[in-house]
Amino acid sequence: MAIRVLHFGLGPIGAAVARQVCTRPGLKSVGGVDIDPAKVGRDLGDVAGLTRRLGLKVSSDAAKALKAAKPDVVVHCTSSLIRTVLPQIETILKSKTPIVSTTEELVYPGYTHVRQAQQIDRWAKNARVAVLATGVNPGYTMDVLPIALTAACERVDRVIVSRVQDARTRRLRFQQKIGAGLTTEQFQRKAEDGSVRHVGLTESVAMIADALGWTLDRITDEIQPKLASVTISSEFLAVDPGYVCGIIQDGVGYRKGEPAIRLHLEAYLGAPEAYEAVHIEGSPRLSMRIDGGIPGDVATAAIVVNSIPKVVGAAPGLHTMLDLPLPSFFPGT
């Protein structure tokens, strides 16, 4: 019996998830929800960019769609922010359906959103279903992979992670989120109001600290613009010299006054060399590198889909990648 999946949120990531679900025999899309009037009422297959129609109309009424579709799991891809998604999560959990979400703040909410995390945990336990938020970052490259690497260590002194991405390969919304095309003044304003930034470094630092049993003094999360030195074009944008082509962002966890966890993220149009790098200082010292990096959009959708069977099989409550079984590809059979 295939696992019945309802898609809540059909932006680029939600649509990518629907396309992956379509290719895996053990999963079946049974409904779609979105608030975008351009999507509501259309066939889910068309909205998600599938090669075929599914005979399922995208609905704007989540409660009704959940009742009609009776999914085994909801894939929830709407917003980075817990305050935005809280009522959506409540609606889904009222239908007693497990959730895999891409809400970045929910990936490891215990540091910045304790109260809301407890609320979701209570709802999930009342509904007797599991909830997980995950994605490529936060949820994988800058937290789960480094944590898995520490398993080979008898002592860990410091964790240093770098992720450099050429944002030309990412979706338009991502390029906007990192401020591509802005002036430095516009960038500063948007960085201050939070509309330009990567959401998740604080969550990743907190996840690593908890995995290692470290109590942190504080976590900092600082952002600066990367300026184009020549004209750089993506499929969606062209950025002239002197304008912002992306972000450089650093999340640091301080322990006993020292920077014990350093997460360095560069995401800009035209980064010459994409990679993931993890350095564990300790015994033994370990350095891991993924040349070319992990492409963000396909990997986020993949991690979400690959997490579905683990969430469906998990104990009721709000989970994190820390307490679920070893992440792995799920073939859908």
Return the residue of 15, 127, 129, 305 that touches a second copy, per CB under 8 A: 305
Q: Residue 155 is which amino acid?
A: R
Q: Does 1 bind a second copy (CB under 8 A)?
A: no
Return the residue of 58, 75, 147, 178 that touches a second copy, per CB under 8 A: 147
∠ CA 69-90-7, rounded to 5°: 35
**The dihedral of CA 312, 98, 105, 228: what is its sign?**
positive
Return the residue of 60, 119, 150, 188 that touches a second copy, per CB under 8 A: 150
Q: Does 38 bind a second copy (CB under 8 A)?
A: no
Within 7-26, the residues that bind a second copy by CB under 8 A are: 20, 23
CB atoms within 10 A of CB 226: 22
Q: Does 231 bind a second copy (CB under 8 A)?
A: no
Q: Does 165 bind a second copy (CB under 8 A)?
A: no
Least distance from a second copy to the Cβ atom of residue 197, Å: 23
Going by C-alpha positions, the residue among 269, 111, 65, 79 that lies closest to residue 203 is 111
Residue pointed to by tokens 């009776």? 70
Pick between residue 244 and residue 274 the one whose CB is nearest to a second copy: 274
CA distances from 314 to 28, 98, 131, 213 (A): 20, 9, 9, 23
Least distance from a second copy to the Cβ atom of residue 266, Å: 19
Q: Does 130 bind a second copy (CB under 8 A)?
A: no
Report the distance separating Cα 140 and Cα 300, nearest Å.
9
Structure tokens at 268: 């800009």
Least distance from a second copy to the Cβ atom of residue 247, Å: 22
CA atoms within 13 A on the CB side of 147: 24
Kindly determine how many residues on this chain lie close enough to bind a second copy according to the rule CB under 8 A. 54
Q: Does 205 bind a second copy (CB under 8 A)?
A: no
Return the residue of 156, 216, 311, 318 that touches a second copy, per CB under 8 A: 156
Q: Does 325 bind a second copy (CB under 8 A)?
A: yes
Least distance from a second copy to the Cβ atom of residue 107, Å: 13
Q: Does 220 bind a second copy (CB under 8 A)?
A: no
CA distances from 256 to 178, 216, 264, 268 (A): 32, 7, 20, 33
Q: Does 333 bind a second copy (CB under 8 A)?
A: yes
Least distance from a second copy to the Cβ atom of residue 9, Å: 18
Report the distance separating Cα 238 and Cα 35, nearest Å.
30
Structure tokens at 93: 């959990």
Pick between residue 250 and residue 297 the one whose CB is nearest to a second copy: 297
Decide the pairing of beta strands 130-133 and 99-101: parallel
The phi, psi pair for 301, rounded to 5°, reads -60, -40
Return the residue of 265, 306, 308, 317 that touches a second copy, per CB under 8 A: 306
Pick between residue 178 and residue 299 the one whose CB is nearest to a second copy: 299
- Please list, in sequence order, all residues whose beta carbon lies within 8 angstroms of the beta carbon of residue 233, skipping any fewer than 6 positions away: 168, 239, 269
Return the residue of 67, 83, 128, 155 that touches a second copy, per CB under 8 A: 155
Return the residue of 164, 196, 211, 311 that touches a second copy, per CB under 8 A: 211
Pick between residue 75 and residue 156 the one whose CB is nearest to a second copy: 156
SS3 28: strand
- Please list, in sequence order, all residues whose beta carbon lies within 8 angstroms of the beta carbon of residue 11, skipping any fewer than 6 positions away: 34, 77, 78, 173
Return the residue of 28, 290, 312, 316 that touches a second copy, per CB under 8 A: 290
Report the distance separating Cα 86 and Cα 109, nearest Å.
13
Q: Report the interface residues with a second copy, using CB under 8 A.
A: 20, 23, 136, 140-141, 144-145, 147-148, 150-156, 211-214, 282-292, 294-295, 298-299, 301-303, 305-307, 321-333
